[in-house]
Amino acid sequence: MCGIVGYIGTKKASPILINGLLRLEYRGYDSAGIATIEKDGISLMKDKGRVKNLYNLEGIDDLEGTIGIAHTRWATHGKPSKENSHPHIDNSKTFSVVHNGIIENYHELREFLADNGYTFYSQTDTEVIPNLIHYYYSKDEKNDELKFLRAVRNACKDLKGSFAIEVVCKDYPDNMIVVRKDSPLVIGKGDGENYISSDIPAILSFTRDFYLLNDLEFVILSRNDAKFYDIDLKPIDKKTKTIEWNASSAEKDGFDDYMLKEIYEQPTAIRETIGSKLTENSKCEFEDLTFTKEYLQSINKIYIVACGTAMHAGLAGKNAIEKLCKIPTEVDIASEFRYRDPIIDEKTLCIFISQSGETADTIAALKLSREKGAKTLAISNVIGSSITREADYSIYTHAGPEIAVASTKAYTSQVVLLILLSIYFAELLEIKNEDIANLKKEVLELPKKIEETLKTSEVVKEFSKKVYQEKDMFFLGRGIDETVAKEGSLKLKEISYIHAESYAAGELKHGPIALIENDVTVIGIMTDPKLVEKTISNIQEVVTRGAKTLIVTNQDIDDKRFDMVIHIPHTNTFVSPILSIIPLQLFSYYISKEKGLDVDKPRNLAKSVTVE
């Protein structure tokens, strides 16, 4: 949540900063601002509302500074307002700071600083940071080149919580300091310039060489250099990492919205995620995994822990692992997992799924599992993301940058990766299961079948036009289809603001059916041949009560019973979520468009949830 951009180079900083913020707006868009170092000191320009409002601020075009920091906010402490917008500045106007994260002890720090004569002008937790830096700076009698760094380091030692911060100082007009703890921040290395950002895609058009920071590594940036220090201010040697994503993968490429582009990128995302891990006639291989048969035999439980859509992908993973490997697997919501005292020991394998790799709850759940002695495996889409640096093992989806807040290609890539993982485990365990050979074939055919499924777009759009003004919708399925119902319902809520519920179809008559009345829309998913007749009976119960029905199926059913039936290619129940979710992604998309909403940046949501 919140997006940070920084620039230090020879070009005018303000257009670069605003451009970067526009790309990071999916992280939060309550207010935005930039601070640049000008000839007469630090200039601050900020306001509430969207980033584009910055273009209207008086004097923004006159900024000449070539060093600057910038921020787009997702409000936590203090309502969206100009005063609460970042950057913040200390009372003496020496330091300006942008911050992503939450300072948990800001009350105590505020009182401490107030007792020392500092005044506060916002309700934010962030405003303590520039003032605390100033406090230490003013107490430091040594006037050497590390004075700025010492002040930032000393202030950070006092901060509890999570933070990624950029600091500029009017006394050091050719430097910027950045540091992170439990909040994302990367540095892009250019030629005679450095870029800073909360994520890689925002600055991919400038460079593909990145420094990835660990917690509490302090960086002094100058135009031609980046010097790294640990918390004791001992220098650290750090190399850049070249990122394979190309700049166009972070562009809309002619699509109206990132979400639609990302839906259509799914054949490629799945192909890339499968990569060379799987061929029809050889064993499934994960270059980065060194699990042994003995280890897998020693574990008695797997936890899959994640949030939102990633958790829904975990449900498909549980289905595959339990069915193929017979290892009991539980799926948990990260924010609950860590507080429910889960039973974990060295016989537990904990798998954490996070597209961004920066979700605070998921990272905290991982740390807890590690402390309790479990082995940890991270699944992420972002190389070098926090979760991958914390885990014992990491494997990656290769979905390319996902910009739209509503996750689409990351979900299907996570499901395919989990299926590959379960095949890998089953083969290591030497489990003889005739499903495996068939499953490999089905996985390899997925990109083609996704392309087929995408052709349902027009029919889905037609149905969306009929129901976009509805207030409530229900998603029903049984078995693996229930997991897709959950994901379909989440997608709809997020971007259309329609109240949506998902249920195991058989559960409806135990209560929720009381909500079904004339013209309520019910979406049924039916891909499991063993359960299709049962689900049809449940849907029949709502049809009888006047519901409008949309069915997504790969089975031969009597279409006449329903208002609209979307037929998708046939596949088995391990991989069916990857196909059956696609019409539902399109459904949410078209409903959101019909309602004239901002598909990529739905209200109140941020792409990366880096606070608890």
Distance CA 471, CA 310 (A): 26
Beta carbons within 8 Å of 522's beta carbon, 6+ residues apart: 473, 474, 475, 476, 516, 539, 542, 547, 548, 549, 550
324 touches 425 (CB < 8 A) = yes
66 binds ligand M6R (CB under 6 A): no
Query: Site for ligand M6R (CB under 6 A): which residue of 96, 266, 407, 456?
Result: 407
Distance CA 60, CA 189 (A): 26
Backbone φ and ψ for 236, nearest 5 degrees, come out as: -120, 145
309 binds ligand M6R (CB under 6 A): yes
Backbone φ and ψ for 286, nearest 5 degrees, come out as: -120, 110
List Cα–Cα distances, 611 to 98, 388, 595, 608, in angstroms.
Answer: 16, 18, 30, 9
Stretch that binds ligand M6R, among 108-116, 402-410, 475-483, 499-507 (CB under 6 A): 402-410
Beta bridge partners of 235: 229
313 binds ligand M6R (CB under 6 A): no
Beta carbons within 8 Å of 131's beta carbon, 6+ residues apart: 90, 91, 113, 118, 120
Per-residue contact flags (x/-) with ligand M6R for residues 484 to 503, judged by CB under 6 A: ------x---x---------
Give the tokens for residue 392. Answer: 């014992």
CA nearest neighbour of 215 among 165, 241, 180: 180
**Is residue 2 annotated as part of the catalytic site, yes or no?**
yes
Give the tokens for residue 363. Answer: 């990272």
Q: Supply the minimum distance, in Å, between the C-beta of residue 415 and ligand M6R.
A: 13
- Four-CA torsion 573, 578, 580, 581, nearest 10 degrees: 140
Q: How many residues bind ligand M6R (CB under 6 A)?
A: 16
Amino acid at 561: R
165 binds ligand M6R (CB under 6 A): no
| Nearer to ligand M6R among residue 407 and residue 538 (C-beta) | 407
600 binds ligand M6R (CB under 6 A): no
CA nearest neighbour of 65 among 87, 40, 86: 40
25 binds ligand M6R (CB under 6 A): no
355 binds ligand M6R (CB under 6 A): yes
Distance CA 223, CA 216 (A): 22
Q: Supply the minimum distance, in Å, between the C-beta of residue 151 and ligand M6R.
A: 33
Query: Site for ligand M6R (CB under 6 A): which residue of 36, 43, 249, 608?
Result: 608
406 binds ligand M6R (CB under 6 A): yes
Q: Pairing mode, if any, of strands 235-236 and 301-306?
A: unpaired
| Nearer to ligand M6R among residue 304 and residue 406 (C-beta) | 406
386 binds ligand M6R (CB under 6 A): no
CA nearest neighbour of 216 among 229, 199, 207, 227: 229
Q: Supply the minimum distance, in Å, between the C-beta of residue 309 and ligand M6R.
A: 3
Q: In what order do the strands lie in the sheet with 226-229?
A: 88-89, 95-103, 161-169, 176-181, 218-221, 226-229, 235-236
Beta bridge partners of 210: 188, 241
| Nearer to ligand M6R among residue 66 and residue 407 (C-beta) | 407
| Nearer to ligand M6R among residue 27 and residue 110 (C-beta) | 27
**Is residue 284 annotated as part of the catalytic site, yes or no?**
no
182 binds ligand M6R (CB under 6 A): no
354 binds ligand M6R (CB under 6 A): yes
Looking only at residues 360 through 379 of this chain, which bind ligand M6R when binding is defined by CB under 6 A? 362
37 binds ligand M6R (CB under 6 A): no
Stretch that binds ligand M6R, among 46-54, 251-259, 305-313, 546-554 (CB under 6 A): 305-313
523 binds ligand M6R (CB under 6 A): no
List Cα–Cα distances, 444 to 411, 420, 447, 596, in angstroms.
Answer: 17, 11, 7, 38
Q: Supply the minimum distance, in Å, between the C-beta of residue 161 and ligand M6R.
A: 19
385 binds ligand M6R (CB under 6 A): no
Query: Site for ligand M6R (CB under 6 A): which residue of 467, 492, 609, 611?
Result: 609
| Nearer to ligand M6R among residue 17 and residue 410 (C-beta) | 410
Give the tokens for residue 102. Answer: 């939450």
Residue nearest to ligand M6R (CB): 308
Which helix (H) or strand (E) segment holds residue 426: the answer is helix 409-428
577 binds ligand M6R (CB under 6 A): no
| Nearer to ligand M6R among residue 135 and residue 411 (C-beta) | 411
- The catalytic position among 2, 156, 169, 307 is 2
Stretch that binds ligand M6R, among 89-97, 99-107, 165-173, 306-314 (CB under 6 A): 306-314
Query: Site for ligand M6R (CB under 6 A): which residue of 204, 307, 363, 568?
Result: 307
- The catalytic position among 181, 261, 318, 607 is 607
Cite the active site residues: 2, 607
Chain contacts with ligand M6R (rule: CB under 6 A): 307-310, 354-356, 359, 362, 405-407, 490, 494, 608-609
